[in-house]
Amino acid sequence: MSEFSVICFAESKSQLLELASYASKLSQGGPAQVIAILPAGTQAASEAEELFSYGATKVNVLETDCVTKAHADCLANHLSILAGPSQPLILLSSTKFGKEVGARLAQKLDAPLATECRALNLTEEGVVVERMVFSGNGISKERLLRLPAVVAIQPGAFTPERKNAVAGSVSSSKLECASKLITKEIKPKGTGSVKLENAERIVAIGRGLQKKEDLAIINELAGSIGAAVGCSRPVAADLGWLPDDRWIGLSGHKVSPKLYIAIGISGQVQHIAGMRDSKVVVAINKDSGAPIAQNSDYLVVGDLYVIVPALTKAIRTGGSGA
């Protein structure tokens, strides 16, 4: 594929580093430009430096509150103006917001769009992507026939690699919000809000828990190993025992911790879609035939009300407590 540029946009800096790093390796010698769109903030100067050391060649610092207001239409408009006639490849994060921006952007540019991507190759025939399909149970290889093209990459699909820092150029833009949406109120997340995508250890709880108060034993176990607490969808969406930012799966967060402990979770495909990239999975379930058994490295069969406190005690006492 002849000379091309890549524009990268993600709501979080860690995801933007992933995209910039991946973009910089897309062709021999790298693309003509890797332009990272960085939401403005007090750390913008140092974050721009960091982006250069991960492969960005240009950083566009964007003054906007459209990211926090989730005004995908404004951001899509801005990205389409930046793309101009240059026919770039545009990389986004395959988050709920990223996919919303991507769909609007593809429509504006009349460009092909691929979401839930885990790999990407540039060939003479076009952009070949590997997308997760069927709740993450299959991989579909698809070819986007032309540039510009919009590709949304799953967070955590690549590990960003630091290069020798090469100074790039920094520009800034101001995005006047022209959304037809009116943000009535922004409610801050609860004080315990966590970024599950970044967690190295996760203790996740499902409907095997009988009542909200019993979350105490789950929190204790998580605390003993420095883990974040996540859950299956019913625990957040139906029961409301944990906030939405803890729910893992197809319609929730996609995580890839080193250790994932699934407690009282049956392991339906929609849940597995969010945690299948975990390095080591330990399941605690009273049913040895639960589907989670097929997706675990270790299965502890038994009552979580017996096993979880015993495990916490053993960890706290260095193995002598159970």
Ligand X SMILES: Cc1cc2nc3c(=O)[nH]c(=O)nc-3n(C[C@H](O)[C@H](O)[C@H](O)COP(=O)(O)OP(=O)(O)OC[C@H]3O[C@@H](n4cnc5c(N)ncnc54)[C@H](O)[C@@H]3O)c2cc1C
Residues of this chain that bind ligand X (CB under 6 A):
206-208, 232-234, 247-252, 264-266, 268, 270-271, 274, 284-287, 290, 303-305
Nearer to ligand X, 66 or 284 (CB): 284
Beta pairing, strands 169-174 & 33-39 = unpaired
Nearer to ligand X, 232 or 278 (CB): 232
Q: Which of 305, 306, 308 is nearest to 282 (CA)?
A: 308
Distance, in Å, from the CA atom of 307 to the CA atom of 296, rounded to the nearest integer, reads 17
Distance, in Å, from the CA atom of 128 to the CA atom of 125, rounded to the nearest integer, reads 8
Nearer to ligand X, 184 or 211 (CB): 211
Structure tokens at 213: 């108060």
Nearer to ligand X, 26 or 262 (CB): 262
Rounded to the nearest whole angstrom, what is the least distance from the CB of residue 16 to ligand X in the complex?
24
DSSP-derived secondary structure for 228-296 = EEEE-HIIIIIS-SS-GGGBBSTTSB----SEEEEES----HHHHHHHTT-SEEEEEES-TTSGGGGG-
Rounded to the nearest whole angstrom, what is the least distance from the CB of residue 5 to ligand X in the complex?
35
Structure tokens at 71: 């005004």
Nearer to ligand X, 192 or 289 (CB): 289
Rounded to the nearest whole angstrom, what is the least distance from the CB of residue 100 to ligand X in the complex?
17
Distance, in Å, from the CA atom of 98 to the CA atom of 10, rounded to the nearest integer, reads 7
Rounded to the nearest whole angstrom, what is the least distance from the CB of residue 139 to ligand X in the complex?
19
Rounded to the nearest whole angstrom, what is the least distance from the CB of residue 82 to ligand X in the complex?
33
